[in-house]
Amino acid sequence: MEKNNNIDQLAIDSIRLLCAEEIDQAKSGHPGMAIGAAPILHTLYTRIINATPKNDKWYNRDRFVLSAGHGSSLIYTILHLCGFSITKEDLKKFRSLGSITPGHPECGVTPGIDATTGPLGQGVAQGVGIALGEEYLHAKYPDIINHYTYVLCGDGDIQEGLCQEAISLAGHLGLSKLIVLYDSNDVQLDGRVDACNSEDTKNKYQSMGWEYDLVIDGNNCDDIEKAILKAQRNHKPTFIEVKTVIGYGRKDQGTAKVHGAPLPHDEVLEMRKAFGGEPFYIPQEVYDYYSSTFLKRGEESYNKWNNKINKCNKDILDEFNHIMNDDFMIDYDKELTKFSLDCNQPTRKSGGIVLNEISNLHPGVLGGSADLASSTMAQCQGGMFTKENRLGRNICFGVREHAMAAICNGLALHQLRPFCSSFFAFSDYLKPAVRMSALTKLPVIYIFSHDSIAVGEDGPTHHPIEHLTMLRSIPNVNVIRPCDANETREAYIIAMQSKTTPTVLVLSRQTLPTLIEKEKTAVNKGAYIVSKEKGKTIDGILIASGSELVITLKAKEILESKGLSIRVVSMPSTYLFDQQSNEYKEEILPSYVSRKMVIEMSEGAHYYKYVGQFGLVYGIQKFGKSAPGPVIIENYGFTPEKIVDEFLKLEKVDFIRYVK
């Protein structure tokens, strides 16, 4: 295209000023990166990216991820110029309650935002996932999907271990349509980068299978464009280091002072006075320039794509649309294995059987494990995803738990149905990405095996104690811990039917009997009665999840032999139970029954609301020990006899008399 450096400079000056004014009005924000990196995004959107506000969910649009999410004022300003539904009034409400311009970019809140970012490194890893998803879909539907993924990151991003995990895997897999632009300004929040980092950036990324390029002048749009166009021709992912000046042109440019605090108000007023116009004014020439570049190119690309897919085979196009909309009419209840009561196996094995069957029914399912597929048994149809086999649906993530989960978020952003797996104790390594799944409303399926101290000899480092509490405390996360094969089966169905909630499946390593017929499971209710009391009165309710249901049912038998009428409730999902009506909750856990006891090999804090002040949460308040599973379970008191002893200590309260 013919370059007009004058209009480029006018646009960049406008963008920088608008970012400063947004942050000044909000009295908070990060002006340094927004001002310094403005030429990068200006170049990317006016000269490179194919997208359109006409349909900001267009499947084949180029994706852009602002991994350095603190520079959100910059992307909001750019998207405003690009014609997305972000008005000047929205820019004036930057970081204010209820606005569509929040402090960090949020997918689903702001038009044109392709990923929720902010915690450093998450955006890079999500970008890897988006690019991986593009490779899979392009291999499967070459006439429908063929686009690039661009990421803008900063010094803080690439210092995160998560980011390095993801970059390493992207290089290994040769994700050539992934282009990372590195805003290299040598400054971070606490000062200069060289105070904590002295890596050879070029050699480091080349050694991880990436092409490397350097743009010495981060204000030179032509050089930035040349580097990106060159990267598009590479057969590897490309890392472009763009040398910029943080807070370019400002009094404190090049220092940490402009990183995370608004510019002085007087300085913003001086900027506006020198530029001209009222606050938040942008010259019409700038709008016209974006209209003649980004808008024109995007609409032409979108129309060309529409014309092309209209000629596609109808069956292929229908299948593609079903993947993108996740609206396959699959009767999972009919199609999946129903386990008989004589089935005895770990729930991880039952889950592996079900997942394999699901992947055979749904071509959008893909995922993998952090080097533990043979242990978690979480594998699907389709072979391994490699450089040579882009249709593979099993991803060998390696021991990269955090990147694995964040990459799955990226896959979900490309509207696929990803899963990932590891040992439950290692959910610590990826919890921030689970939180991002929940915040972004991505239905990623997290599969964790080795769910309790029953892991045994591996000892306390591998025994999950507080992990159920941790994950159950995250809003919009459905943690399901099934007790047997049929509850596991139903848990997977719930996970696949979820559209906006990630699901965590917590499965056993140890063999468990099948306790409940498929027709009698009610995992979708979160909790339900699996063994009713005898007679019309209830002397107590025992509540359990997972493997503890077996010993709980045995404890009931002992209590009944003592003449007590006991109800047993399976509670695989507190998240789902909390969504039920008050009438249903009262039906399952009547408030007039004072003796309620939860049995779970976990910290258990989330259960106290169900047992009331007279009940008991029988859990674990210390770390595990190294011993065979059965030995440590007995040592920690998870036996029918010990449960009975603890239950009998509970006082039976006459609530009517107690209230009086």
Helix (H, G, I), strand (E, B) or coil at 188: strand
Phi and psi for 130 in degrees, rounded to 5? -65, -45
Measure the CA–CA gap between 158 and 204, rounded to whole angstroms. Answer: 11
Non-local CB neighbours of 395 within 8 Å, separated by 6+ positions: 132, 366, 367, 368, 384, 385, 407
> What is the per-residue DSSP string for 471-484?
HHTSTT-EEE--SS
- Catalytic residue from among 134, 401, 490, 603: 401
Nearest to 350 by CA among 280, 283, 449: 449
| Residues forming a β-bridge with 366 | 418
Q: Which residues does 468 contact at the CB level (< 8 Å), separation at least 6?
A: 479, 481, 506, 600, 602, 603, 604, 606
Taking the alpha carbons at both ends of the chain, their separation in whole angstroms is 85
Q: What share of the chain is helix, strand, coil (3-state, %, to 5)?
A: 45, 15, 40
**Using CA atoms, how far apart are residues 213 and 369, in angstroms rounded to an integer?**
32
List the one residue out of 557, 642, 561, 564 whose CA is nearest residue 599.
642
The helix or strand, by DSSP H or E, that contains position 152, with its residue range, turns out to be: strand 149-154
Helix (H, G, I), strand (E, B) or coil at 543: strand
CA 619 – CA 606 distance, rounded (Å): 11
Q: Any idea what DSSP says for residue 101?
A: S
Distance CA 614, CA 590 (A): 13
Q: Is 225 tagged catalytic? A: no
Contacts (Cβ under 8 Å, ≥6 apart) of 2:
none
* Phi/psi of residue 616, nearest 5 degrees: -140, 135
Whole-number Cα distances in Å, 221 to 42, 44, 79: 8, 9, 18
Active site residues: 401
